């Protein structure tokens, strides 16, 4: 039986459910509640919904057992969405969290690396004009690939994952766990990435769903103002390298037949 009769990627052109680029800030996002003003600077052509993100927590009421009060705090971020009904196609968000602050751009309608990267650059160039005080200390590229198991027989992970891969232990192929995680620092062409791989298995539907998440995180050599980063050729090269690294990683963990099916390699 051919692999196309066993495995169906989420797209006929590739297997990418979501791609996102994140920039991690050296400082907090200044006045995140003001970002709605970007809609008037052309963002309304790409997004059709705005959400302000507020933090909330629970306060234990002293002297009254088993009671607590919901405490809403100041706005900590924003989220721009491109939606059609309940379907989300594009997300731009920024958040100030207790241990980090970041800006990220997500596509759930991936058309290819170059249009995704160019859209990211266009959006973040405008953010750099709007908030030039933002400085960046790290970035990451994250891909989510998904496959449905459509064969009548039980899911066979060896059809999807390469047994000879140095990144996957042999016991993985005999396990019934619903998730597998792998985190490691990797030197790729003299670039150090903190790599994280997650394999997830969802058996709740008729066709089991296999999800692969690959996140490549890298610290910049020095903190850089957002405009200098986004508008510099060096960062474009860094993003291209991270994208190539993702393809290389998939090439190390997926079977040859599956790589051909998702057009990662030629027959």
**CA–CA distances in Å: residue 219 to residues 25, 104, 156, 266:** 11, 16, 37, 34
- Average the pLDDT over each of 1-15, 37-51, 54-68, 233-247 and give the range with the smallest value: 54-68
- Report the half-sphere exposure of 128 (CA within 13 A, side-chain side): 18
Using the predicted structure, report yes or no on whether residue 69 has a pLDDT greater than 70: no
Whether residue 44 is contained in a domain is answered as yes
- The answer as to whether 266 is a domain residue is no
N residues, the chain: 267
Q: How confident is the model at residue 189 (pLDDT cuts 50, 70, 90)?
A: confident
pLDDT score for 259: 98
What residue numbers bound the domain in which 247 lies?
Answer: 3-261
- State the Cα angle at 108 between 205 and 176, rounded to 5°: 35
**Per-residue DSSP letter, 26:** S
Least confident of 106-110, 150-154, 186-190, 240-244: 186-190
Q: Please report the pLDDT score of residue 190 as a whole number.
A: 83
Residue percentage of the chain with pLDDT more than 70: 93
Q: What is the C-alpha to C-alpha distance for residues 121 and 67, in angstroms, rounded to an integer?
A: 48
Average pLDDT, the chain: 91
pLDDT, residue 244, reads 96
Q: Sort 157 into a burial class: Cβ within 10 Å, 0-12 / 13-18 / 19+.
A: middle
- Residue 56, domain member (yes or no): yes
Global pTM exceeds 0.85: yes
Q: Could you tell me the CA-to-CA distances from 98 to 52, 56, 206 in Å, in that order?
A: 17, 12, 40
CB atoms within 10 A of CB 39: 15
pLDDT at 57: 47
**Is 65 within a domain?**
yes
Is residue 33, in this structure, part of any structural domain at all? yes
The answer as to whether 99 is a domain residue is yes
> How much is the average pLDDT of 65-71?
53
pLDDT in tens, 78-109: 999 999 999 999 999 999 999 999 999 999 99
Which pLDDT belongs to residue 58? Answer: 46
**How many structural domains does the chain have?**
1
Averaged pLDDT for residues 146-151: 98
Q: Answer whether residue 267 is part of any domain.
A: no
Strand positions, DSSP E, 65-114: 68-84, 87-97, 100-107
Which whole number is the average pLDDT over 120-141?
96
Q: How far apart are CA 221 and CA 172, in angstroms?
A: 36
Q: What is the enclosing helix (H) or strand (E) of 121?
A: helix 113-130
Specify the pLDDT at position 61: 53
Q: What's the pLDDT band for 68 if we cut at 50, 70, 90?
A: low
**Can you give the pLDDT at residue 136?**
98
| Residue 62 pLDDT greater than 80, yes or no | no
Between CA 21 and CA 171 the distance in angstroms is 32
Q: If we measure between CA atoms, which residue out of 162, 170, 180 comes closest to residue 249?
A: 162
Geometric angle at alpha carbon 263, from 262 and 265, rounded to 5°: 120
Identify the helix (H) or strand (E) that includes residue 179: strand 179-188
């Amino acid at each position: 039986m051919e692999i196309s009769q066993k495995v169906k990627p989420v797209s006929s052109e590739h297997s990418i459910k979501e791609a996102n680029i994140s920039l991690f800030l050296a400082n907090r996002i200044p006045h995140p509640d003001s970002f709605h003003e970007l809609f008037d600077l052309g963002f309304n052509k790409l997004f059709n919904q705005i959400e302000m993100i507020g933090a909330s927590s629970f306060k234990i009421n002293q002297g009254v057992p088993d009671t607590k009060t919901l405490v809403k705090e100041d706005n900590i971020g924003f989220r721009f969405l491109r939606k059609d009904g309940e379907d989300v196609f594009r997300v731009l968000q920024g958040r100030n969290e207790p241990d980090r602050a970041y800006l990220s751009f997500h596509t759930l309608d991936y058309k290819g690396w170059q249009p995704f990267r160019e859209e990211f650059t266009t959006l973040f160039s405008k953010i750099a004009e709007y908030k030039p005080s933002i400085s960046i200390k790290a970035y990451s590229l994250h891909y989510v690939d998904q496959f449905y198991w459509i064969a009548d027989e039980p899911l066979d992970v060896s059809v999807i994952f390469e047994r000879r891969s140095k990144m996957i232990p042999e016991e993985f192929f005999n396990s019934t766990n619903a998730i597998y995680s792998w985190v490691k620092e990797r030197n790729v062409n003299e670039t150090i990435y903190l790599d994280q791989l997650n394999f997830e298995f969802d058996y709740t539907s008729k066709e089991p769903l296999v999800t692969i998440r690959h996140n490549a995180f890298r610290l910049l050599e020095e903190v850089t103002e957002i405009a200098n980063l986004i508008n510099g050729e060096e960062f474009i090269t860094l993003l291209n390298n991270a994208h190539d690294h993702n393809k290389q990683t998939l090439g190390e963990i997926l079977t040859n037949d599956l790589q051909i099916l998702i057009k990662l390699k030629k027959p």
